[in-house]
């Protein structure tokens, strides 16, 4: 499998002012695999330490802050020579707070060594406080649709998409296969193990089993790592997500979690899910101004899941919907489509997406690209009525508008209609056509 994040890792590797790197991401998005793959590019290979499994290595960080002593102990215990041409991987680093804190000393005292820390629940540890300025951060997400195509052996489709230079209709010879592949992606999602099962065996039952196991593993983390008083609340929120997204107005409601539930009682539980990278919180923006974060309504937000395949499985939507035209895209108010679009927008821009609404209108997402605010509609099929985004344009005179749908690629004045299967290419398309 090709993971595009390797390009970012290589950029970090060659940076003159490189600091230790922390790779964040949910469980089973492929962090360990990609770091080991990345480590193969180093002349002296990589050293991989998993603090969750190899607990005996924790003592080396608890006994000293001297980086030279730490490296000597690691080399002795692992039997591997560690040089400045070795990638040092500290996996599940949140399980060893002393190792996490040691990154400061690697930065100050051994800057020529390449050190990466990663962990499924690293976000929880970082949320409780961490010395800034001594590390760099990189976020990892499930496989994009482009990565899915490459894994599926559809390099020709990727190469065609790479050649598109103008917003003109895509020939049906490409449009048809890309639509079918997108339906498959809505079934499998972008979790690497799920994709691998589909690519190797074309077995939807096996795909469903993988997704079910991942959901079970996430729920096991609730009980293992969350405060005991928050565990039932986390589970209530987690179980409410499909119904939260099935409403026309997808604003998160605590009352939909449990009758009588209040924000102050469930806020910590929701933050746990968000910090664990299991959900994505999208705040309402009161106005498309700069910076976009200055106009956040912190009391109004939507909650999406990290992966469209996991959302499909969590919602109990059977894979048989694949054969029913555009049902996968339109099911429960287009929630899968919105989740897919957000999944692809996450990490694409420096600022996280928001959504905009007033009392009568709502635009699914707005993004800030440099100093430009762009509204985005995510349409589940070919019905592209867009009263809200037109009203938004009338109010704020948008420089450009984006509509993702199952319609063909086209541009009508300021409205850029992009097929859903090109969502992970938006940044590049805006560079060309913005």
Q: Tokens representing 203?
A: 């077995």
CATH architecture assigned to 5-139: 3-Layer(aba) Sandwich (3.40)
Higher pLDDT, 61 or 327: 61
Mean of all residue pLDDT scores within the chain: 94
* Average pLDDT estimate for 428-434: 93
* Average pLDDT estimate for 85-114: 96
Quick one: pLDDT at residue 410? 97
* Average pLDDT estimate for 6-16: 96
Residues 329-367 have pLDDT tens digits of 666 668 999 999 999 998 899 999 999 999 899 999 999
DSSP E strands in 243-324: the ranges are 279-285, 296-305
Residues 143-191 have pLDDT tens digits of 999 999 999 999 999 999 999 999 999 999 999 999 999 999 999 999 9
Angstrom distance (rounded) from CA 275 to CA 306 = 12
Residues 187-220 have pLDDT tens digits of 999 999 999 999 999 999 999 999 999 999 999 9
- Pairing mode of beta strands 46-50, 87-91: parallel
Quick one: pLDDT at residue 248? 82
Residues of the chain with CATH 3.40.50.300: 5-139
- Pairing mode of beta strands 415-419, 410-412: antiparallel
Residues 396-421 have pLDDT tens digits of 999 999 999 999 999 999 999 999 99
For the chain, give the number of residues: 434
Contact 342, 335 (CB under 8 A): no
Quick one: pLDDT at residue 322? 64
Quick one: pLDDT at residue 22? 96
At residue 131, does pLDDT exceed 70?
no
Angstrom distance (rounded) from CA 127 to CA 137 = 13
Q: Strand, coil or helix: what is 434?
A: coil
Confidence grade of residue 12 (pLDDT, cut at 50, 70, 90):
very high
* Average pLDDT estimate for 242-260: 91
Quick one: pLDDT at residue 163? 97
């Amino acid at each position: 499998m090709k993971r595009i994040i390797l390009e970012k890792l290589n950029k970090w590797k060659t940076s003159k002012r490189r600091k230790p790197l922390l790779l964040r991401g949910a469980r089973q998005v492929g962090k360990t695999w990609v770091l080991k793959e990345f480590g193969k590019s180093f002349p002296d290979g990589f050293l991989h330490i998993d603090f969750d499994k190899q607990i005996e290595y924790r003592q080396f960080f608890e006994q000293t802050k001297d980086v030279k002593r730490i490296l000597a102990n690691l080399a002795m215990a692992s039997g591997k020579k560690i040089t400045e041409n070795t990638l040092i991987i500290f996996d599940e680093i949140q399980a060893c707070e002393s190792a996490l804190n040691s990154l400061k000393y690697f930065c100050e005292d051994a800057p020529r060594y390449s050190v990466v820390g990663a962990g499924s629940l690293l976000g929880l540890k970082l949320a409780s406080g961490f010395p800034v300025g001594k590390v760099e951060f990189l976020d990892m997400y499930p496989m994009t649709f482009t990565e899915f195509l490459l894994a599926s052996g559809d390099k020709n489709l990727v190469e065609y998409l790479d050649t598109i230079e103008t917003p003109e209709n895509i020939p049906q010879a490409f449009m048809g296969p890309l639509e079918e592949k997108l339906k498959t992606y809505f079934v499998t999602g972008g979790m690497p193990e799920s994709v691998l099962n589909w690519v190797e065996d074309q077995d939807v039952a096996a795909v469903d089993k993988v997704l079910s196991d991942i959901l079970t593993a996430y729920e096991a983390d609730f009980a293992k790592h969350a405060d005991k008083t928050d565990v039932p609340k986390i589970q209530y929120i987690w179980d409410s997500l499909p119904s939260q997204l099935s409403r026309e107005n997808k604003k998160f409601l605590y009352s939909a979690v449990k009758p009588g539930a209040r924000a102050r009682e469930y806020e910590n539980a929701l933050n746990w899910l968000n910090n664990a990278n299991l959900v994505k919180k999208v705040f309402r923006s009161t106005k498309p101004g700069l910076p976009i974060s200055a106009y956040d309504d912190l009391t109004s937000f939507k909650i999406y899941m990290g992966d469209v395949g996991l959302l499909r499985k969590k919602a109990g939507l059977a894979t048989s919907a694949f054969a029913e035209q555009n049902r996968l895209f339109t099911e429960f108010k287009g929630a899968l489509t919105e989740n897919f679009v957000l999944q692809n927008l996450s990490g694409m821009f420096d600022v996280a997406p928001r959504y905009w609404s007033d009392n009568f209108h709502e635009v699914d997402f707005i993004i800030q690209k440099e100093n430009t605010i762009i509204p985005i509609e995510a349409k589940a099929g070919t019905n592209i009525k867009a009263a809200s985004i037109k009203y938004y344009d009338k109010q704020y005179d948008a420089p450009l508008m984006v509509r993702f749908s199952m319609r063909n690629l086209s541009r009508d004045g300021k409205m850029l209609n992009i097929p859903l299967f090109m969502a992970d290419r938006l940044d590049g398309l805006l560079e060309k056509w913005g």
